[in-house]
Structure 1
Amino acid sequence: MEKTNLMEELIKELGIEQHITLEDIPDIDLYMDQVIQLFERKFNDLKRNENEKILTKTMINNYAKGKLFFPITNKKYSKEHIILISLIYNLKGAISINDIKKTLQPVNQKMESGELNLDALYSVYLELAMKNAEKFQQDFDTIVTETEDAASKLNDNEQQFNDDLEKVLLIGSLVNMSNLYRKAAEKLIDTLDDEPIQPKK
């Protein structure tokens, strides 16, 4: 496995710096189809295959029914709704829908009471996401190097078998790190107040 080529190709395909930005979101409210189109345009190149769906009507309806974001008005989604859907999109790859609901509950509560500037919160989130991307590239480089060093201890004459086995070790290491971060996030979720979202007055 060539570390440099592998790393460059994987980082490129991951699109780790790709997010829905505040500039991507129109100032006018959008219908559901327009919201879906916005996400499809932004993340289409990151699909694992052609059958993968970035966002669907069923997904959005399930988020609404599950109260993952505050109620919409006149079947239209505001800038704040789209920000919350973007957060859900990013969170759902690692934690359960119930955990997402609990995570976003204080955000929804403060949005409904008018105590939160969601644009400001989301801007900080995106700044952290960029720093996360930089840190990920550094950590990924380290994990690849450590995997190569560990795999070199294995003796086998078939190069293809060694390459595949090295990839198995790398996959295992990446998943292990992912699990550790996910478990840490879940522990933090458990510390959030478990209060119901208050209805809008």
Structure 2
Amino acid sequence: MDKLAEMLKSLELDQQLNIEEIPTIDLYMDQVTQLFERAYGEGKRKPDDKILTKTMINNYAKGKLLFPIKNKKYSKEHVMLINMIYQLKGTLSINDVKDVLDPLNTQTEAEPEKLSSVYEDYLSVVHKSHERLMNEVDILVQDVQDKKKDNSDLNSDYLEQFLLIASFAHMSNSYRKMAEKLVDELEEKHEKK
């Protein structure tokens, strides 16, 4: 299953926008989109896919997913938040992302320097989850290969791909549902205050 390992590597799932890569000077929107293209461009599904567009950033600002932008420039803290939005929106609805980031936005607006520590923790957790994913994929591949040996009625290459796709889809749905449940819990706590 070296092919699957190559596929995982080509997705660059472990690629993150590290704090050192974010300029300390404020950036214009075009500079922000270019920064994201450089950071995540290699992992695009199709070459003409866009990582981050001006429209997306404008929608994040209008939807109050970010604390207010000043003079059409984005601070280092804005870029960190945009990166977290970029990662979260692949799984959660924009409303859920807003609910998750509201307390962080409020704190960042009052004390911007504190976001760096949270962002470093976020990157650390994401890195560890990527390591766990790699281990889980190895286990999954072994499970699929065992099932493939047990079932010779179908084309074995097709069966292997089908079982992998079904398993990844199930894992994705399970993780998404758990994330949504945690968002709901966060909302309940907020409503009680």
TM-score range, shorter chain: over 0.9
Is the partner of 1:86 in helix, strand or coil?
helix
- The residue aligned with 2:141 is 144
| 2:42 counterpart residue number | 45
User: Counterpart of 1:65?
Assistant: 62
Which whole-Å CA distance do the structure 2 matches of 1:33 and 1:116 have between them?
24
| CA–CA separation in structure 2 for the residues paired with 1:11 and 1:111 | 34
Q: Secondary structure at the match of 1:181?
A: helix
Residue of structure 1 equivalent to 2:82? 85
Structure 1 alignment gaps of length 5 or more: 197-201
Q: Which moved more, 1:131-140 or 1:5-14?
A: 5-14
Q: Normalization by structure 2: what TM-score?
A: 0.93
The aligned counterpart of 2:24 is 27
Q: Say whether the 8 Å CA contact 1:69–1:81 is kept in structure 2.
A: yes
SS at match of 1:69: coil
Deviation at 1:45, TM superposition (A): 0.9
Q: What SS does the corresponding residue of 1:18 show, helix, strand or coil?
A: coil
Give the corresponding residue for 1:199: none
Q: Say whether the 8 Å CA contact 2:17–2:39 is kept in structure 1.
A: yes
Q: Which of the residues 178, 185, 188 maps onto 1:184?
A: 178
After TM superposition, what 4+ stretches of structure 1 lie above 3 angstroms from structure 2? 193-196
- The AA in structure 2 aligned to 1:80 is E
SS of 1:76's equivalent in the other structure is: coil
Could you tell me how far 1:165 is from its partner in structure 2?
2.2
Q: 2:71 aligns with which of 45, 67, 74?
A: 74
Q: 1:163 aligns with which of 133, 151, 157?
A: 157
Distance 1:188 1:88, change over 3 A: same
Q: Which residue pairs with 1:107 in the alignment?
A: 104
Cα RMSD over matched residues? 1.6
Q: Which AA in structure 2 matches 1:171?
A: I
TM-score of the two chains, using structure 1 as the length reference: 0.89
- The answer to which of 144-153 and 129-138 deviates more is 144-153
Deviation of 1:112 after TM superposition, in Å, equals: 2.1
- The answer (yes or no) to whether the contact 1:110–1:116 under 8 Å persists in 2 is no
* Kept after mapping to 1: 8 A contact 2:27/2:74: yes
Alignment coverage as a number of residue pairs: 190
12-21 or 187-196: which moved more?
A: 187-196
Question: Letter of the aligned partner of 1:118 in structure 2?
Answer: L
CA contact (8 A) 2:77 2:112 kept: no
